[in-house]
């Protein structure tokens, strides 16, 4: 009797490594790049490039841990699925990770975890770890929505001279626009194509900003940078370079998930080059928000319009993810009115944060400190440790512990620095525009320095 063989069958549809890397770059290169030139001017060229290199190494390592954890989760799922099959199939388990044992067909990519929340569930993580992952994940989303409103509002003020209380008015217009986009019934169809169009918009914006900034590299040595500014700047770099949040989603869409590591290498190399080029084209004294280098005029309106559209779409997509998750938690589909009320509540919460911290660089450093570090490094390490706890896979205990310790130090130092710098910006705003109306209505002093 010949041994039973399984045909490979057709590969499931999905992206190759190159296309997936393009999508990863498109989704990673966002508003964070607009803060990097100022960060380089605070840190100096050498320290900035050194920390970028550290971030590249850590993101690659975290991606390796996350990919291994996902593979272990999928293998465990396959094992459970084939427990009731005949014993002749057991020898094929390790070589047929892409086979759906219920149908004999190639496994659908949709069975792969799309994010760390699903991965934690697939690994049967305990309640404390799942709560930790969820708090970092959803906290990151809420803060990013607020940051999007700040960017949209600043874009409006660059493009148009708004009358009256321009800061609050622009934030209200931005929030209303984002909420209206969230009501579109076709929003779920916005996906990878929108991400790539948004990336093209970012490239055009950066080109316009580079045209209006003085030439020359950032300073080699900075003598007057405070410890708080340095710590906040480090977390801003973390915010801009983090890939772990998106890695599993891109991996899920690939034809062959074994090429995900190659995709990660390609993607990180590409957007790191973009970041370094932008920094060196932005001159020795860039503003804290790069768009501020473009003055009112045709170029300013074009750049501001592109940025407003790019961020509005990004806001709608991210809010949609958060709202759909809350909808699943409620256990039933919301009516149009219910959806409108939920998205309105989310928009109002984001608006409140944006009003309290309206300086782009401050908000980005807070996001980087509180959520990007834990999501990018600590969560992949903890999920990998959980996935390999009862297996013969090399556990890399020292690497996991080192990554968690690095995250703890970065989070504490970065959060402290971000809070100190935010308070200083509040104090500067109070001195330059005293009174409640002046504080909330005048252009923030910190955003222009």
pLDDT confidence band for 78 (50 / 70 / 90): low
Task: Tell me if 25 is assigned to some domain.
Answer: yes
Contact criterion met (CB below 8 Å) for 12 and 107: yes
Coil vs helix vs strand at 106: strand
- Residue with the bigger pLDDT between 295 and 175: it is 175
How many of the other CB atoms lie within 10 Å of CB of 436? 8
Q: How far is CA 190 from the centre of its chain?
A: 17
Task: Tell me if 262 is assigned to some domain.
Answer: yes
Specify the pLDDT at position 344. Answer: 92
Q: Which domain holds residue 402?
A: 17-73+105-443
Which residue has 């320095």 as its token pair?
A: 449
Rounded Cα gap, residues 266 and 282, in angstroms: 25
Is the pLDDT at 143 greater than 70, yes or no?
yes
Is the pLDDT at 102 greater than 60, yes or no?
no
- Residue with the bigger pLDDT between 147 and 393: it is 147
Which residue has 């001195």 as its token pair?
A: 431
| Bridge partner residues of 106 (DSSP) | 99
Task: Tell me if 84 is assigned to some domain.
Answer: no
Q: How far is CA 37 from the centre of its chain?
A: 19
Which residue has 């209380």 as its token pair?
A: 165
Task: Tell me if 394 is assigned to some domain.
Answer: yes
pLDDT confidence band for 193 (50 / 70 / 90): low
Q: Of the given ranges (45-59, 98-112, 271-285), which has the lowest mean pLDDT?
A: 98-112
Task: Tell me if 79 is assigned to some domain.
Answer: no
pLDDT confidence band for 222 (50 / 70 / 90): low
Rounded Cα gap, residues 368 and 232, in angstroms: 8
pTM to 2 decimal places: 0.80
- Structural domain count, the chain: 1
DSSP H stretches of helix in 331-447: 336-356, 360-367, 373, 379-387, 397-432, 436-441
Question: Where residue 282 sits, what CATH number does that domain have?
Answer: 1.20.1740.10
SS3 content of the chain, % helix, strand, coil (to 5): 75, 0, 25
- Residue with the bigger pLDDT between 137 and 11: it is 137
Task: Tell me if 328 is assigned to some domain.
Answer: yes
**What number is the average pLDDT over the span 146-165?**
85
**Residue 237 vs residues 38, 52, 355, 367: alpha-carbon distances, Å:** 11, 7, 24, 11
- Residue with the bigger pLDDT between 263 and 193: it is 263
Is the pLDDT at 270 greater than 80, yes or no?
yes
Task: Tell me if 83 is assigned to some domain.
Answer: no
Specify the pLDDT at position 95. Answer: 46
Task: Tell me if 1 is assigned to some domain.
Answer: no
Return the closest-CA partner of residue 374 out of 119, 36, 58, 57.
58
Contact criterion met (CB below 8 Å) for 344 and 238: no
């Amino acid at each position: 009797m010949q041994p039973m063989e399984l045909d490979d069958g057709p590969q499931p549809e999905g992206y190759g490594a190159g296309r997936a890397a393009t999508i990863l770059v498109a989704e990673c290169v966002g508003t964070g790049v607009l803060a990097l030139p100022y960060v380089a001017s605070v840190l100096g060229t050498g320290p900035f490039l050194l920390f970028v290199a550290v971030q590249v190494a850590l993101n690659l390592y975290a991606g390796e841990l996350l990919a291994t954890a996902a593979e272990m989760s999928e293998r465990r799922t396959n094992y459970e699925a084939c427990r009731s099959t005949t014993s002749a199939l057991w020898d094929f388990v390790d070589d047929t990770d892409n086979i759906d044992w219920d149908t004999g067909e190639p496994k659908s990519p949709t069975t792969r975890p799309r994010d760390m929340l699903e991965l934690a569930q697939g690994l049967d993580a305990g309640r404390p770890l799942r709560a930790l992952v969820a708090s970092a994940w959803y906290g990151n989303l809420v803060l990013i929505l607020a940051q999007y409103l700040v960017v949209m509002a600043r874009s409006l003020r660059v493009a148009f001279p708004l009358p009256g209380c321009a800061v609050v008015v622009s934030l209200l217009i931005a929030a209303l626009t984002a909420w209206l986009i969230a009501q579109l019934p076709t929003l779920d169809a916005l996906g990878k194509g929108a991400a790539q169009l948004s990336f093209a918009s970012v490239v055009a914006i950066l080109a316009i900003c580079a045209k209006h900034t003085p030439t020359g590299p950032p300073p080699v040595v900075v003598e007057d940078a405070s410890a708080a500014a340095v710590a906040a700047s480090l977390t801003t770099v973390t915010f801009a370079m983090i890939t772990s949040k998106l890695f599993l989603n891109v991996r899920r869409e690939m034809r062959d998930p074994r090429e995900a590591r190659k995709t990660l290498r390609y993607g990180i190399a590409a957007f790191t080059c973009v970041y370094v080029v932008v920094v060196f084209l932005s001159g020795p004294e860039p503003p804290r928000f790069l768009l501020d280098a473009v003055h009112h005029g045709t170029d300013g309106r074009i750049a501001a319009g592109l940025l407003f559209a790019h961020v509005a779409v990004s806001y709608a997509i991210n809010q949609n993810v958060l709202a759909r998750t809350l909808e699943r938690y409620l256990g039933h589909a919301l009516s149009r009115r219910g959806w409108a009320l939920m998205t309105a509540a989310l928009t109002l919460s984001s608006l409140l944060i944006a009003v309290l911290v309206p300086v782009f660089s401050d908000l980005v450093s807070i996001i980087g400190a509180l959520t990007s570090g834990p999501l990018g490094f600590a969560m992949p390490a903890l999920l990998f440790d959980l996935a390999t706890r009862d297996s013969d896979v090399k556990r890399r205990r020292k690497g996991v512990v080192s990554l968690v310790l690095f995250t703890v130090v970065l989070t504490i130092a970065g959060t402290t620095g971000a809070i100190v710098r935010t308070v200083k910006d509040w104090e500067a705003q109070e001195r330059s525009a005293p009174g409640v109306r002046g504080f909330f209505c005048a252009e923030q002093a910190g955003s222009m320095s």
